[in-house]
Amino acid sequence: MNKDNKNRSPKTFYIVGGAVLILATLSLLPWSEWTNGKISDFSLLQDIKTSVDGTSDTNNAQAADIDPALLEAMSDTVAMATVETSAKVAVSDIDSVVPAPVVIKEGDMVIIEDYTVGQCGLSRLKAAIKSPRLARIAVIGDSYIEGDIMTQNLRENMQKAYGGCGVGYMNMYSEFPGFRRSVKQSGSGWTEHSASKKGKKQYLGLSEHYFTPNGGNATAAYKGVKALSNLDKWQKSQVLFIAPRSTKICVRTGGKDWVEHQISASDSVQSIMLDELTDNFEIKANDSSTIFLGTWLDGTQGIGVDCMSSRGYSGITLTSINPELCRDMARFVDYDFIILEFGINAMSAKQKDYSVYASRLEKVVKHVRNCYPHADILLMGIGDRGEKRNGEIHSMESVSYMIEAQRGAARKARCLFWDTREAMGGEDAIVNWSRNGLANKDYIHLTHKGGAKLAEPLFNAIQKLLAK
Position 12 in a domain: no
Owning domain of residue 238: 170-300
CA distance 203 to 292: 9
Position 424 in a domain: yes
Position 322 in a domain: yes
Q: What is the largest CA-CA distance in the chain?
A: 86
Same domain? For 130 and 98 the reply is yes
Same domain? For 140 and 179 the reply is no
Residue 9 pLDDT exceeds 70: no
Cβ distance 418 to 380 under 8 Å? Answer: yes
pLDDT (tens digit per residue) in 102-141: 558 899 999 999 999 999 999 999 999 999 999 999 999 9
Residue 82 pLDDT exceeds 80: no
Q: What total of structural domains would you count in the chain?
A: 2
CA distance 155 to 85: 50
Which of 266, 300, 334 is the endpoint of a domain? 300
| Residue closest to 305 by CA, chosen among 454, 199, 160, 99 | 160
CATH number for 114: 3.40.50.1110
pLDDT (tens digit per residue) in 294-340: 999 999 999 999 999 999 999 999 999 999 999 999 999 999 999 99
Mean pLDDT of the 8-37 span: 54
Position 11 in a domain: no
Which of 242, 268, 300 is the endpoint of a domain? 300
Q: What is the DSSP letter of 184?
A: E
Same domain? For 403 and 425 the reply is yes
Which of 285, 300, 315 is the endpoint of a domain? 300
Residue 91 pLDDT exceeds 50: no
**What pTM was computed for the model?**
0.83
| Residue 368 CA to its chain's centroid (Å) | 14
Residue 148 pLDDT exceeds 80: yes
Q: Which residues partner with 303 through β-bridges?
A: 135
Alpha-carbon separation of residue 340 from 251, 257, 272, 307, 460 (angstroms): 32, 40, 28, 11, 18
Q: List CB contacts of 459: < 8 A, sequence separation 6 or more.
A: 154, 157, 158, 161
Position 43 in a domain: no
Same domain? For 326 and 425 the reply is yes
Position 55 in a domain: no
Same domain? For 152 and 208 the reply is no
Same domain? For 355 and 387 the reply is yes
